[in-house]
Copies of this chain bind each other. A is one copy, B any other.
């Protein structure tokens, strides 16, 4: 990939002297920052702004590493062919007019895919803004050259964005407002070849990048993306377009990508330890905060001290800290003592620290300095939120002294600023130059503090003893040879049991006379179900009879079930199951996602299903740590500990079932879907009470 980022020699196809055109902007941007040779290509010109211009790439005498293409879509394929002929390793196609514009454009895009496959040339784009690398000074993009005017603001956040327009204007906004510097901005467009995964891997190895922010509307290879994120040693922040039903429909008409199933994608991101943002500025703010404190790491506790000049703002801060799961630090006696030395005696000293009376008495410099030094020395404080005001007001503390104190103590210090317009601007710039994070929205300041202090460690790759599984794809093939579509409950549980997932004690009989012996084997009370191949929703058809306590109950149930089965033209088959005591009902399952492959699901079922709407997803296979993390992601996970006298659910047991489900989904691609609903406690272990497996052959399951 390095030829995209540090090419030796660039050809610009579509170079033009017309300053209204993108091809001119690219040329200007290249000439300002790119140090190696530039070869403008355009058959209409012999020279452009004093540079020799070539009629085609074939005529360029020197070697070229990268061709940037900005000509109308119908002309692009031939040019890429030429580039491949000239052994140029990579092209960056910034023109639009491809799959995003409908059928004709899709045709052009397919041609590009074919050329990449045939020739091995790597294609970035099309329909993108290319690359901006502030550190190298590379602007391989038609973004307005005015972004150079105040100098490109360098930083350590690199961005991968699937929105050309946004990448351009949003970056211009961030840079000119001095809000954040960036390292590389990679606009990947329709990604016919180079995709987010490859660039992500490149950036994870890039010494100039410590945090990666992605805006994605589709994920090309979910499994690979998940794997990369999961083991990434740099924080990753993702903003995904297309969450709601509406959002998704807009995404479909916007790019040529699919939005995927958002529960699956969000689940994969959360499982991989990726932070999911929801708004543009928030996305950038969280990324720059993480980048600012690359060494802050997740501790068990994240205890924050608030230093304010206003009781009111302290109160609201405390509310926000609680809502983000941060703790209000309990101050040590040493800290309290230090604060008392600057405060009037009537002032109760506690966290949040209202420093105003101390400021009135001692001036802001002494009051703030004393407070920050004490908090930095306090081992019970993990981060400091400072409220500042810039303007005609006695709050002119020494910012750089505070910054140094916090830095020396290795504690994140984040500043919330109010102030008069002029002075606030100056203060913000001073903060940036001193390396202090400053925000104008209090909520955002706390949110970013939370992102920094709650940062997760990447999952270490560990060897695990694989689960002992008796079965194999071959054995399943045998079992399911003649099956297609939806498997009945009994067979579904048989399949699960070959993978070590136990079912409720049950017996299937085909004859009314076999019912009573089966019942006495299972033991009262029992549930009896009529099993019919094509009826998935048995209870809708009246095919489930619960709470059978006696022979009388059994006879009544058999006669009712046989009548229904008769009416439905189904051969009689009776499933007799042990009726379980009440327990928490869970749902566990597997879905095969087009982007993320087999994914395991876990959630609450029964009466909780519709009310809690609490379910989580993660790509399979799952390690034990994965499975436990997945369970821990349930919002109401504490219900597993036992609830209103119900027996507790053993998390290790549940984890093992989820691992086995994942393994089954991974081993046997013919299964498109598994639902275990409910999964209940029986004899202290979880068992599948009902289950449905769907095979890929016939996917139009009527649920």
Contact = CB atoms under 8 A, between A and B. Distances in A.
A323 interface: yes
A632 interface: no
A617 B348 CA distance: 33
B242 A165 contact: no
A550 interface: no
A312 interface: yes
Give the dominant DSSP class at A's interface.
helix
A651 interface: no
A418 B244 contact: no
A241 interface: yes
Interface size class of A (residues with CB under 8 A): 35 or more
Contacts of A352: 250
B318 A250 contact: yes
A402 to B, nearest CB: 19
A441 B161 CA distance: 19
A166 B323 contact: no
A280 B313 contact: yes
Contacts of A318: 244, 246-247, 250
Nearest to A344: B101
A74 to B, nearest CB: 13
Contact of A215 (B279, B281, B312): B312
A322 B391 contact: no
A552 interface: no
A559 interface: no
B315 A251 contact: yes
A170 interface: yes
A440 B245 CA distance: 25
A672 to B, nearest CB: 28
Contact of A162 (B254, B312, B424): B312
Contact of A279 (B170, B321, B420, B442): B442
B104 A346 contact: yes
A397 interface: no
A165 B315 CA distance: 13
A162 B161 CA distance: 45
A384 interface: no
Contact of A639 (B101, B321, B420, B611): B611
Contacts of A144: 391-393
B172 A607 contact: no
Interface in A597-615: 607-608, 610-612
Interface in A339-359: 344, 346-348, 350, 352, 354, 356
A354 B253 CA distance: 10
A348 B252 CA distance: 10
B176 A422 contact: yes
Nearest to A162: B312
Interface string A429-447: 0000000000011110000
16 contacts: A146-B420, A161-B312, A169-B419, A170-B418, A176-B391, A176-B419, A243-B319, A247-B315, A250-B350, A253-B311, A253-B350, A278-B320, A279-B316, A279-B442, A280-B313, A607-B644
CB-CB nearest 9 A-B residue pairs = A254-B311, A163-B312, A241-B315, A244-B322, A101-B346, A176-B420, A176-B421, A144-B392, A102-B346
Given A255-B311, A279-B316, 14 more contacts: A105-B346, A163-B312, A166-B313, A169-B389, A172-B391, A243-B319, A246-B322, A251-B315, A254-B311, A254-B314, A280-B442, A282-B443, A608-B611, A611-B639
